[in-house]
Structure 1
Amino acid sequence: MKILMLGDVNGSPGRRMLKTHLKRLKVELGLAAVVVNAENAAAGNGITAALAKEIFDAGADAITLGDHTWGQKEFATEIDRLENVVRPANGGQGQPGKGWTIVTTATCRFALLNLVGRTFMNPADCPFRVADACLNEMPKDIPVFVDFHAEATSEKNSLGYYLDGRVTAVVGTHTHVQTSDALVLPNGTAYLSDLGMCGPYLSSIGRDIKPVLKKFLTGMPSRFSMAEGPATLEGAVIEFDARTKKAGAIETFRIREPFVAMA
């Protein structure tokens, strides 16, 4: 079986790429499911129930989130009504929503776990210990896919090895830059440090380059608005055995809208 996991969806350009490509890709690649990180879906800062519906309608089967989960204040009252949407399990005690869930599609059934990192990030509970606790709660007979929303490659890499053989895949999100280190670890867990981004690529990780440059050059506050223009769709296709729960392969994936270079 194959699952496509996609990196952070950035604003309307990222959502446009989902609408344009997801349903076709499901057929062409023979995908059992599509998992989308959508924590930047609302103009780069959080998500709403309406945008979650838009992403599901585009062809996603499940949504993961990250450190911008609560960027839209109304989402705290909406998340409990949404199926197949998970926020970081280690984000803090008493948060609404779920840190893991079981996703069922027409051809597969799997557990989806969302975690957030602590290195160069906001305070959070230990992702390693919380992963242990969540795995203890899950059924033992289904594959488990982990979206680790973290900044430091070393922290992501370490969690990959920590969970090797216990989950089907550990993939990173958050940096918006797709990495080239996809591999299946020794005990059968697919790993990638970062899936990349679904959003405008002529940008500073999705933001308009002009205010970002102003901040770097002057040190003065600057509002980072979403970039426009051609977008990319980035992620990874994971091939796995539903019976053994082990991954057989992981390959990075990218579709880019063309742009015309200045003469």
Structure 2
Amino acid sequence: MPRYALKVEYHGAPFAGWQRQADQPSVQGAIETALSRLEPRDHTIAAAGRTDAGVHGLGQVAHCDMDKDWDPFRLSEALNHHLKPDPVAIVACAHVPEDWHARFSAIERRYVFRLLMRRAPATHLKGLVWRVNQPLDIAAMDEAAQRLVGRHDFTTFRSSICQADSPLKTLDHLRVTRVDGPHGPEARFDVRARSFLHNQVRSFVGTLERVGAAAWTAHDVADALAACDRARCGPVCPPDGLYLAGVGYPDDPFA
């Protein structure tokens, strides 16, 4: 069966997350339903990461197996037609080898988090950012973020329902920068690692926001990490503002 890699963009607000669920809308379910309209049968796709409810996708990657040898462009166009009106789009499609896997072939996941700093409620960006009322100290947040980079036991920043075999992970990159946009200043978090624990990025952001608000210091973040105790984590921020921005592979299937 020909296998295809799909680069997927989606707005996470209407969905209970990526993963198919019996009684709630999901991104996986929307794509599998669209596939069944092209080839009437049950379809099961696999993705690079299972994003939670309300989390968005800019560069999620999934793969599907088809009976027909589709031209990749025509497959993406047909899927986009049947995905309407769901806020899901196939932005690229490519033939891949039969043993290529969207999850297991990946060597990097990249996340972006957008935190809007203004007192007025978000209107155009509602659901797309986490809004806080006060300005934050971006330099202090970035300094504290560097305490998290490297290979650590991230138990403190791991959800209690995380199913990963081990809390040991290598965080390759975490930077916090200021971005001045038309709706106000944002704190932008750029995060990269081979893989993440459940709620790890949201735990980072919520904790670092406390640093930006001068309630925590970089030393507090380092101490919380060393404690390996979930109770030492700062507040877990909401999913608004979190995006799976991209997935890296040894050979980019979309290049």
TM-score tier (shorter): under 0.3
**TM-score normalised to the size of structure 1?**
0.26
Larger gyration radius, structure 1 or structure 2: 2
Q: Which has the higher contact order (CA 8 A, sep 6+)?
A: 2
**TM-score normalised to the size of structure 2?**
0.26
